[in-house]
Amino acid sequence: KVGNTSIDIHYLALNEKGEWCFTGRGRLVYIHPTTGKPAPLSEEMRTKLVNG
């Protein structure tokens, strides 16, 4: 999910046999370098995150 200031990431890893090894999730928040507070993602960033 791509939000206004963050993205949620869900992932899984497979072992050498192709079996699920672990899963996880996390949230990355875009932080303004000067204020240190969450900042809105630009439309360009959002588009690249959604479309690859």
Q: Is residue 20 part of a domain?
A: yes
From the list 26, 22, 34, 21, the residue with the least C-alpha distance to 10 is: 26
d(CA 44, CA 12) in angstroms, rounded, equals 27
From the list 19, 21, 20, 40, the residue with the least C-alpha distance to 29 is: 40
Q: Which domain holds residue 34?
A: 6-51
Q: Is residue 1 part of a domain?
A: no
What pLDDT tens digit does each residue of the chain (52 aa) get? 899 999 999 999 999 999 999 999 999 999 999 999 999 999 999 989 888 7
From the list 5, 49, 50, 4, the residue with the least C-alpha distance to 29 is: 5
Q: Is residue 37 part of a domain?
A: yes
3-state class of 36 per DSSP?
coil
